[in-house]
Amino acid sequence: MFNIILDKELREIIGTTKFAVTFGVCAVLILLAFYVGARNYQVSRQEYEAAVAENIQQMEGLTDWGSIDHRIFLPPQPLATLVSGVSNDIGRTVNMQSRGELRTEGSRFNEDPLFAVFRYLDLEYIFAIILSLFAILFGYDAVNGEKERGTLGLTFANPVPRDQYILGKIVGSFVALIVPLMIPILIGCLMLPVLGVPMDMDSWLRLAMVILAGILYFGVFLTLSVFMSTLLQSSSASLMALLVVWIFAVLIIPRTSVLVAGRSVDVPSVDQIDYEKSRFAAQLWNERMTAMQKWMKANYNDDHRQMRDGMRTFSTEQQALQDEKMNTFVEQLNEQRANKSDLRTGVALSLARISPTASFSLAASDLAYTSMELRSSYVESANAYQQEYSAFMQSKNVDYWGRYRRHGGNDDVEEPDPIDTRELPVFSYQQPPISEAIKASLPDLGLLFMFNAIFFSGAFVRFLRYDL
C-alpha cells in the first residue's frame, strides 16, 4: 500500500511541467554557483600568489633586515567561494612585526565595496533560497489540494491506512524532489577539481556535510509545507501562509534577531580598547623615560660611546620588561572584550536560530571555515608565526629599534650584501582541524533535524484525525 502511494507521488510530481520548469531553474542556479565558485577561487588564488610574490619582490635588494616591510596574507579557502560566510568582511592582510599586537586589515568588501553592494551568489545563498521555495511549491497542497480535487475522498474509499498514506506522501515528495537535485549537485562537485580547485579528503568531507545540511534544510520546509496543508482548508491559503513564513525565516528573522540581540549586550568598541591601549602605552613610555633619566644620572660617563652602548642595553632590557607588561595588559583587555563579545554572539545567534535558514547558514559556514571563527584562527596563526619571525629577526641582529639605520656618522661602511629573501620563514595558515568544524556545526545540524521531526510529527498527527 505504501509502495503504491509512494509510486503515485513520484509520478505525480516528476511528470509535470511545473516540476520541469522549477527543477530546470534550480539546476541552472546550482551549477552556476559551483562554476562561479570555482572561478572565484582561481581568481582569489592568483591574487593571493601575486600579493605574496610582490611582498617578497619589494624586499629584494635591501641590505638591512631591519628595514623590511613584511606582510602576510590569508590564503583563499576552496570552500569559501561556495559558502562565503564572513570571509569577505574580515581583513586578509597582516603587517608583520617582531613584537606588538597584530591587526588584520584590508577586508575584501572594504577594498572593493562594489562587491558589497550586491554581494556574492554562492552555493549557500542558492540553497537557502531555492531549496526552501522548491519544497514549498510542491508541498503546500499535499493534503488540502487532494481534498479540493476530490482525490482524497476517492483514495480513502479504499482500505488505506492513514499513517501509510501520509508517510507515503512525505517520503514520496522528498525523494521525488531531492534525488533529481542530486544530479546538478554532483555535477557541480565534479566541476571543482576540473576547474582547478584543490580539494583534499577533508574538504570533500566538509562539502558533503554542507550538502547534507542542505538536504536537512530542504526537509524542514517540506515537512512544514505538508504540515501547513493539513492545518488550512484551502491550498491557496496554505501557499500564502507558507510564503509569509518563508519571508520571515529566510529574510527577516536572521537579520533582525542579530540586530536586536546584538545591541542588548554592551561590548566595548574597538576605539575604546585602542584608547585604553594607547593610554597604557603612554604611561609605560613615561615610566621608561623616568627610568632612563635615573640611569643616566647614575651612570654618567665621559666616554660617550660606552655610555651609548650601555644605555642601549639598559633600554633594551627596559623595553623587554615593558613589552611584557603591555602584553599582559592587552591580553586582559582583549579577554574581557572577547568574553563580552562571545556572550553577545551567543545571545544573537541563539535568537536567530528560530529560523532554520539561520541554522543552515551557520552550519554551512562552520563547515566551510568561513564563520566568525575564521578571524580568530587567522589571528592565532599570525601570532604563532610572529614568534618564528621574531626569533628570525633576532638571529639577524636586528634590535628592537630596528628600521632605518642611518648611514650618517663616521663609521667606515663597506657595501653590505643584499638580504637573501629565501631565508625568511614562510607563513602558512593553519586551518583548524576538521573535528572542530564538525563539532561546531553539530548543534545546528541537530536543530535542523529537530525541526524536521517536529513538523513531520505535526503533519502525521494532524492527518490521522483529518476531516476527509
By CB under 8 A, the residues from 86 to 115 that bind another protein are 86, 89-93, 104-107, 109-115
C-alpha cell recorded at residue 206: 566538509
Q: Does 394 bind another protein (CB under 8 A)?
A: no
- Residue 172 contacts residue 1 (beta carbons within 8 Å): no
Smallest gap, in angstroms, from Cβ of residue 2 to another protein?
29
Interface characters, 276-315, with another protein (x: CB under 8 A)? --xx--x---x--x--xx--x--------------x----
Q: Does 69 bind another protein (CB under 8 A)?
A: yes
- Which of 91, 402 has the CB closer to another protein? 91
C-alpha cell recorded at residue 456: 513531520
Residue where the block lists cell 526552501: 132
C-alpha cell recorded at residue 186: 554532483
Burial readout 79-115 (b: 16 or more C-beta within 10 A, e: otherwise): bbbbbbbbbbbbbbbbebbbbeebebebbbeeeeeee
The single residue among 14, 31, 62, 160 that binds another protein, judged by CB under 8 A, is 62
Q: Does 375 bind another protein (CB under 8 A)?
A: yes
Smallest gap, in angstroms, from Cβ of residue 269 to another protein?
5
Q: Which stretch binds another protein (CB under 8 A): 207-215, 345-353, 377-385, 447-455?
A: 345-353
The single residue among 153, 187, 196, 263 that binds another protein, judged by CB under 8 A, is 263
Q: Does 45 bind another protein (CB under 8 A)?
A: no
- Which of 121, 231 has the CB closer to another protein? 121
User: Is 376 in a helix, a strand, or coil?
Assistant: helix
Q: Does 231 bind another protein (CB under 8 A)?
A: no
The single residue among 14, 31, 121, 171 that binds another protein, judged by CB under 8 A, is 121
Q: Does 67 bind another protein (CB under 8 A)?
A: yes
Q: Does 58 bind another protein (CB under 8 A)?
A: yes
C-alpha cell recorded at residue 340: 563580552
Q: Does 176 bind another protein (CB under 8 A)?
A: no
Q: Does 29 bind another protein (CB under 8 A)?
A: yes
Smallest gap, in angstroms, from Cβ of residue 297 to another protein?
9
Residues contacting residue 104 through CB under 8 Å, at least 6 positions apart:
74, 90, 91, 92, 93, 94, 375, 378, 379, 382
- Residue 133 contacts residue 25 (beta carbons within 8 Å): no
- Residue 197 contacts residue 78 (beta carbons within 8 Å): yes
- Which of 26, 167 has the CB closer to another protein? 26
The single residue among 259, 320, 391, 453 that binds another protein, judged by CB under 8 A, is 259
**Which helix H or strand E contains 212, and what residues bound it?**
helix 201-231
Smallest gap, in angstroms, from Cβ of residue 3 to another protein?
29
The single residue among 1, 4, 20, 43 that binds another protein, judged by CB under 8 A, is 43
* Residues 35, 191: Cα–Cα separation, whole Å: 7
Position 302: which residue type? D
Instruction: Identify any residues that bridge with 107 across adjacent strands, giving them in sequence order.
Output: 91
Q: Which stretch binds another protein (CB under 8 A): 128-136, 205-213, 425-433, 437-445?
A: 128-136
The single residue among 31, 102, 129, 231 that binds another protein, judged by CB under 8 A, is 129
Site for another protein in 348-367 (CB under 8 A): 348-349, 352, 358, 361-362, 365
Q: Which stretch binds another protein (CB under 8 A): 218-226, 337-345, 420-428, 460-468?
A: 337-345
The single residue among 3, 118, 303, 467 that binds another protein, judged by CB under 8 A, is 118
In angstroms, the Cα distances linking 266 to 39, 173, 333, 338 are 41, 47, 15, 12
**Main-chain dihedrals φ then ψ at residue 91, nearest 5 degrees:** -65, 145
The single residue among 407, 411, 414, 417 that binds another protein, judged by CB under 8 A, is 407
Compute the radius of gyration of the chain from its Cα atoms.
Answer: 31
CA angle 194, 196, 200 (to 5 degrees): 90
CA angle 341, 343, 345 (to 5 degrees): 70
Smallest gap, in angstroms, from Cβ of residue 456 to another protein?
25
Q: Does 258 bind another protein (CB under 8 A)?
A: yes
* Residues 286, 295: Cα–Cα separation, whole Å: 14
- Residue 155 contacts residue 165 (beta carbons within 8 Å): yes
Residues contacting residue 426 through CB under 8 Å, at least 6 positions apart:
none
Q: Does 410 bind another protein (CB under 8 A)?
A: yes
**Main-chain dihedrals φ then ψ at residue 71, nearest 5 degrees:** -125, 145
- Which of 113, 159 has the CB closer to another protein? 113
Which residue stretches of 1-101 are H helix? 2-14, 17-57
Smallest gap, in angstroms, from Cβ of residue 147 to another protein?
17
